[in-house]
A and B are shown apart, each in its own frame.
Chain A
Amino acid sequence: MLIKHLTDDEVQQYAVNKSNCEKRIVEHIHLCEECRSKVEVYQLLINGIKQQPQPAFNFDLSKMVLQQLPSPKTSIANDNALIWIFGFMAMAFLGGAIYFFQSYFDLFESMRTIFIYLIVITAVTVLAYLFIDMYKKYKHGMKVLDLY
């Protein structure tokens, strides 16, 4: 009777993870002394690998690396100040515009209130979007330049 033994890959599959093996392989191993012996060698080898001591550095890596990193940023407070400054400037600009160009506002009197709201809301939304986009680009640029 011809016995077709398992291939080396199949033997390894069983030795590494028998729960993930095909039923055919598991059954063969149970019946075949020769293949079982091959599995044992692989299992011995894998145990030997797992028993290897964990390599470790003989210096404090964390401390050494942290010493080389730039000191913690204090830019969050500065960023907030920047937002306040921009906000104040925008308000001042808007106030100035209203004060100096008051006469032009008479033009709006003839328009219906709903149109005025529409224009103002659109303008504010576009300005807000542009401001956020500009701020994001600025932050990204600062991150890219933040080399040491």
Chain B
Amino acid sequence: MNNITRQNTTDRELVDRILRGETNAFGIIIKNTENLVAKLIFDMIASESDRKDIAQDVYIKAYQKLPGFKFQSKLSTWIGQICYNTCIDHLRKKKLVLAESIFETETDPSNDILDMMNTAQGNFDEPVDTFVIGKDISEIVKKKIEKLPVIYKTLISLYHKEELSYEEIGTITGLPAGTVKSYLFRARRELKNDLLLHYKKEDLC
């Protein structure tokens, strides 16, 4: 609780300084929130040049909207929300993703069959043990995460890496906390199933 109060005080001080015309104080906000913004953008946007434009766009929007910030959440959560919405808008504009595929819950079964065939082929080429030992678990998990729908990827990252609460993730994504929790369960289950489809548990330990 004290941390939240302290955080809010710092946020208020920074926002006040910027609203008084000290634009350089906005640099501190960027430094404080850059990691979260990078995580969201890297999870949601594939193109490197688009990432650069979106990152700048996020902060320019935040700067413009700053006088309207009501301190109902942490400043970082608010900027995360702007970032998430900017990424979604970008994906929709580019028609890279349809609304339903953002929230897609099942992976394409044909992809699974292809993956299984590829793995089977891989297993013929080299023994399972060598195949797994050659890679570490984080590398394997990374590949599996990349296959997840955008929303799952984002939630996994915000919860397990950024260590945000369900409520904070809900504020960023505009989803109810209960839905965030349930999507996270589904995302982890999908990852686990995908992992066990290709590797034996003993090989991963």
Interface residues in chain A, defined as those with a beta carbon under 8 Å from any beta carbon in chain B: 8-9, 12, 37, 40-42, 44-52, 54-57, 59, 61-62, 64-66, 68-76, 143, 147
CB-nearest residue of chain B relative to A64?
A: B56
Chain A residue numbers with a CB within 8 Å of B205 are 40, 44
Which of the candidate stretches B87-95, B125-133, B184-192 sits at the interface with the other chain? B184-192
14 cross-chain CB contacts under 8 A:
A41-B192, A41-B196, A41-B201, A44-B137, A44-B204, A45-B195, A49-B161, A54-B39, A55-B41, A61-B59, A65-B30, A72-B22, A76-B20, A143-B19
Contact of A61 among B34, B64, B185, B195 (CB under 8 A): B34
Chain B residue numbers with a CB within 8 Å of A55 are 38-39, 41-42
- The 6 A-B pairs of least Cβ separation, nearest first, read A48-B141, A73-B21, A51-B138, A55-B42, A62-B30, A48-B137
Extra contacts, 9 of them, besides A61-B34, A65-B60, A65-B63 (Cβ < 8 A), are A40-B205, A45-B188, A45-B192, A45-B195, A48-B140, A48-B141, A49-B156, A51-B137, A64-B56
Chain B residue numbers with a CB within 8 Å of A41 are 192, 195-196, 201, 204
Interface residue SS majority, chain A: helix
Contact of A8 among B22, B59, B140, B189 (CB under 8 A): B189
Which B residues between 102 and 161 are near A, CB-CB below 8 angstroms? 136-138, 140-142, 145, 156-157, 160-161
- Give CA–CA (A41, B189) in the complex, Å: 11
CB-nearest residue of chain B relative to A73?
A: B21
CB-nearest residue of chain A relative to B196?
A: A41
CB-nearest residue of chain B relative to A146?
A: B67
Contact of A75 among B21, B141, B161, B185 (CB under 8 A): B21
- B177 touches A (CB below 8 Å): no
- B3 touches A (CB below 8 Å): no
Chain A residue numbers with a CB within 8 Å of B145 are 49, 52
Tell me whether A57 and B51 are in contact (CB under 8 A): yes
- Give CA–CA (A72, B59) in the complex, Å: 17
Tell me whether B192 and A69 are in contact (CB under 8 A): no
Tell me whether B189 and A54 are in contact (CB under 8 A): no
What per-residue 1/0 map shows which CB atoms of B7-34 lie under 8 Å from chain A? 0000000000001111110110011001
Chain A residue numbers with a CB within 8 Å of B42 are 55
Chain A residue numbers with a CB within 8 Å of B38 are 54-57
- Give CA–CA (A40, B195) in the complex, Å: 13
